[in-house]
Chain A
Amino acid sequence: MSAGATRFPAIVAEVTEINNLIKTFRFVREDGAEVPPFSGGSHIVVEMDDDGTRRLNPYSLMSDPADTGGYSISVRREDGGRGGSRFMHTRVKPGMTMTISYPVNLFPIDGRAKKHLLLAGGIGITPFMAHMAQLSERNQIFELHYGAASRAVGQFGDRLRKHYGDRIHLYYDDEGTMMDLPSLLRGQPAGTHLYVCGPKGMINAVMKIAREAGWPRGALHSEEFLAPPVGLPFEVELANSGKTVQVGAAQSLLEAIEAAGVNAPYLCRGGACGQCECEVAAVDGEIEHNDHWLTPEEKASNSKIMPCVSRFKGQRLVLNL
């Protein structure tokens, strides 16, 4: 199995500045053909050539899944990040050719739900935009609650409000409006499924309140893509390929492995899907497990690592790669 989903060259058709933090990018096929349809909640991986550093970042698709003319994503600039979002904001211009992957869905809806309760925080709104297009097309019942720092950065809210009317509920920190999660989560009809996408603190809070309110586990869905964190440089030995690889401060372990010419499996590159799981052959030091995939026991045993987001601090790390 080759690494990642199928990729194809795409042209950046449009770059739209939503506000000083968020830009929207529209990709169309280089050959003018249709892009594959997708399901709400899907992401694509965008490849960037950042002056010789190859970056592959996942972004949720926000366009209508039925629109096969192209794909739209939104990117929030993270100045403290490793450089992917900065590259998208400062270097990507209309007319450029980039490589993108086929859509992969790690955040699907449950089609059996009687109602879909969608909770978005900040840039976590994007997968729900695709979900809502698909849900309304299929005449399904949904309700979106979207919180953002301010009306200025939450500009998608007004657009959604116009389109979907009173199914959209907006909250802005600077206006002092906040989701009343306890009453919202207690007042839902049986058969409702809950979906949350946003910052870690929000996801944790929603899940805690939902569990306390007695929601069935199977009715709770969340997606948090982790950006690979920056950290101290470290060295890793790859037992199977016989290589020793230096991992830079702003580079993920997976990126360093790829840069060394080793073809490692991956899908989401955000610690969620499990595809890049790798066996640890030897370790003398501390693995910084940053993923959502390994169980606490697996993390404690230090027998496995998710190279897309996890790092290492110590004397020696050897992987079966």
Chain B
Amino acid sequence: MGIQFNDETFHKDYTYRNSPAGIKRFPFPFPEDDYMYSVNIEPHVPGREGSVFEHTFDVDEHYVSEMRDRARVLADDPLRCQSLPHMTLAGWDLLELIMESKARDYPDMFQLTKNGDRWHWVNKPLGIDDTFTFLDETTLPYGPMEYITRQAQGDFTLQDQRDDNLWIEAGMVTSQADWSLDFDIGMSFHEWHAPVPLAGGMGIFDRALKFLLKLQYGAPVRRFNWTMTVDPLLDTSPENYHKWGPSKATLTPDTVGRRQHLRVELQTLYRLPRSNAIVFPIRCYLISFQDLVTVPKWGRRLHRVLQTLPEELAEYKGFARNRQMLTDWLAQYDDGSPTSPGWWAD
């Protein structure tokens, strides 16, 4: 197989690491030296070879360990995966999308063989070899959404479309930036975005909803979001805040490089064909500050972004208390020289 999978953890001893190649392909989310919200949506088309955009669903060196972490979180809290009864068909749509994409993009690792409705699915990295009947839930060990998202990195939510709105009514959410599926399930687009500061008044959600209601099958789109996480923890959930929230208070100037991580979400949106629902995969990438500054352009730029960010956003993203410490640490990697446009490493 083309990918060497890391054996690593996302809790307790935190052995998560990016390899040098993993650092190089990290999706650094800032195309400019300052940051403000924008809808920043672009077509999700295959991108540069080796990048996280090369394939529809990126599989990287963390795949096997991330799936193990997901199983661990689900065992502790089964409500991280929920699907309202009318969303089952959308779950099948998602299963079909992921299986077809991965079998096409990574044929050495994933294989899908269809004999009418009888499908044979092989996932070599996870040692899965299953035969089931498409659209027959009784032939899978889990519902279709849970089955396939236990085998796919990133969180997934499924939105039903009705009454000119989108309703979050199913999801698999174990690597989230401090939001809860159990709390949000059943909400409309504006309801689940209500906690986000500033953007509502800018009309961003009205425009985004209007755009998404017209999202076409076969024309997926993507955007980035980002935040900060102390220690490489995927499951930064409100449910477990008591376990990870205090870590922010133990960060010191000496440990910033190792413990502070930039958390980037590659968010994509697809219209699903059979259900007319929309799936929203939210793929999380983590990089430690010490690894990030090995790309000089990124070190300089992150320093400038954190310096100029509106205070509301630092609050909302949960790093206001450490903002000065992070900026001071990054300052040693910003010599003031200009950065090239775009976010690719120089």
- Give A43 Cβ to nearest chain B Cβ, in Å: 12
With contacts defined as CB atoms under 8 Å apart, how many contacts are there between chain A and chain B in the complex? 53
Which residues of B line the A interface, CB within 8 A? 84, 86-87, 89, 135, 160-163, 214, 216-219, 273-276
In the assembly, what is the distance between CA of A111 and CA of B86, in Å? 5
CB neighbours (8 Å) of B217 from chain A are 5-6, 36, 38, 102-104
Kindly identify, within residues 266 to 298 of chain A, every residue whose CB is under 8 Å from any CB belonging to chain B.
267, 273-275
**CB-defined contacts of B276 to chain A, threshold 8 Å:** 39, 41-42, 105, 108
Instruction: Give how many A residues have a beta carbon under 8 Å from the other chain's beta carbons.
Output: 26
Are A39 and B135 neighbours in the complex by a CB distance under 8 Å? no
A80 interface hit (Cβ, 8 Å): no
> Which of A6, A112, A138, A267 makes the CB contact (< 8 A) with B89?
A138
Looking at the complex, which one of A38, A134, A275 makes contact with B214 (CB distance below 8 Å)?
A: A275
Residues of the A chain whose Cβ atoms lie less than 8 Å from the Cβ of B218 = 5-6, 36, 102
Other A-B pairs beyond A36-B273, A38-B274, A105-B276, 14, CB < 8 Å:
A5-B217, A6-B218, A36-B218, A38-B217, A39-B274, A66-B135, A102-B216, A102-B217, A102-B218, A110-B162, A111-B87, A111-B89, A138-B89, A273-B214
| Residues in A neighbouring B135, C-beta threshold 8 A | 66, 137
Residue of A nearest to B87 (CB): A111
A interface secondary structure, majority: loop
* A65: Cβ under 8 A from any B Cβ: yes
| Whole-angstrom CA separation of A66 from B275 in the bound complex | 11
A-B contact pairs, 26 of them (CB 8 A): A5-B216, A6-B216, A6-B218, A6-B219, A36-B218, A37-B273, A37-B274, A39-B275, A39-B276, A41-B276, A65-B274, A66-B135, A102-B216, A102-B217, A102-B218, A103-B217, A103-B273, A105-B276, A108-B276, A110-B162, A111-B86, A111-B89, A111-B275, A137-B135, A218-B163, A275-B214
| A78 CA / B89 CA spacing, docked (Å) | 37
B163's nearest neighbour on chain A, judged by CB, is A218
Inter-chain contacts of A110 with B (CB < 8 A): 162
The residues of B that contact A66 with a CB separation of less than 8 Å are 135, 274
**A140 nearest CB neighbor, chain B only:** B86
Q: Complex: how many Å from CA A134 to CA B89?
A: 10
Instruction: Decide if A104 touches B216 in the complex (CB within 8 Å).
Output: yes
Task: Give complex CA distance A37, B218 in Å.
Answer: 11
Q: How far is A103 from B276 in the complex, measured between Cα atoms in Å?
A: 10
Asked whether, in the complex, the Cβ of B214 is within 8 Å of the Cβ of A108, the reply is no
Closest to B162 in A: A110
CB distance from B271 to the nearest CB of A (A): 9
Min CB distance, B94 to chain A, in Å?
Answer: 13
Q: How far is the CA of A187 from the CA of B161 in the complex (A)?
A: 28
Closest to A39 in B: B276
Scan residues 229-269 of chain A and give those whose CB is less than 8 A from a CB of chain B.
267
Write out the residue numbers on chain B whose beta carbons fall within 8 Å of the beta carbon of A138. Answer: 89
On chain B, the residues within 8 Å of A275 by CB distance are 214
Report Cα–Cα, A37/B114, bound state, in Å: 15
10 smallest CB-CB distances across A and B, nearest first, come from: A111-B86, A39-B276, A37-B273, A108-B276, A105-B276, A6-B218, A5-B216, A112-B86, A102-B218, A37-B274
Chain A proximity of B206: nearest CB distance (Å)? 13
Give B126 Cβ to nearest chain A Cβ, in Å.
Answer: 27
Give the complex CA separation of A36 and B219 in angstroms. Answer: 13
Write out the residue numbers on chain A whose beta carbons fall within 8 Å of the beta carbon of B274: 37-39, 65-66, 134
Q: Is the CB of B216 within 8 A of A108?
A: no
Q: Report how far A76 CA is from B199 CA in the complex, Å.
A: 48
